[in-house]
Amino acid sequence: MVAPAHSSVEAVIQFARSESRVCPQPQRWNELWEMLPEKKRVGAGWSPSLPLILAAWWETSDTEKQERFLSHIRYAAEHGALERVHSFLISLPHDQWHYHT
């Protein structure tokens, strides 16, 4: 599947939430975060915030994971990386997504 020439943030979010998706599996979510431009340290954290992986994966709800993931999509849109992120997301096979249970 190929991303449309001009993805809208709403369309990417709709795709990301379809079929009960929550977020990519941890390793793939980290790959997505790594492709976001202009990341920077802010105090003890990062902008944009890190994906909820490693220990945070087990300590956060699906809702918290989804909100963080969607914030990464919005960040990509604000920083000119939405097309790249959309292409990455639509290339992920079914088993590389975490779903609401």
Residue 62 lies in a domain: yes
Average pLDDT estimate for 62-78: 98
4 assigned to some structural domain:
no
The pTM is what? 0.92
Residue 32 domain-assigned (yes or no): yes
Residue-number span of the structural domain to which 27 is assigned: 9-99
Split at pLDDT 50, 70, 90, the class of 7 is confident
Q: Please state the domain count of the chain.
A: 1
Average pLDDT over residues 93-97: 98
Residue 2 placed within a domain: no
- The answer to whether position 89 is within a domain reads yes
**Which residues have a Cβ under 8 Å from the Cβ of 14 and sit 6 or more positions away?**
none
In a domain, 3, yes or no: no
Domain assignment of residue 76, yes or no: yes
pLDDT > 90: what percent of the chain? 92
In a domain, 86, yes or no: yes
Q: Which of 30, 20, 79 is nearest to 52 (CA)?
A: 30
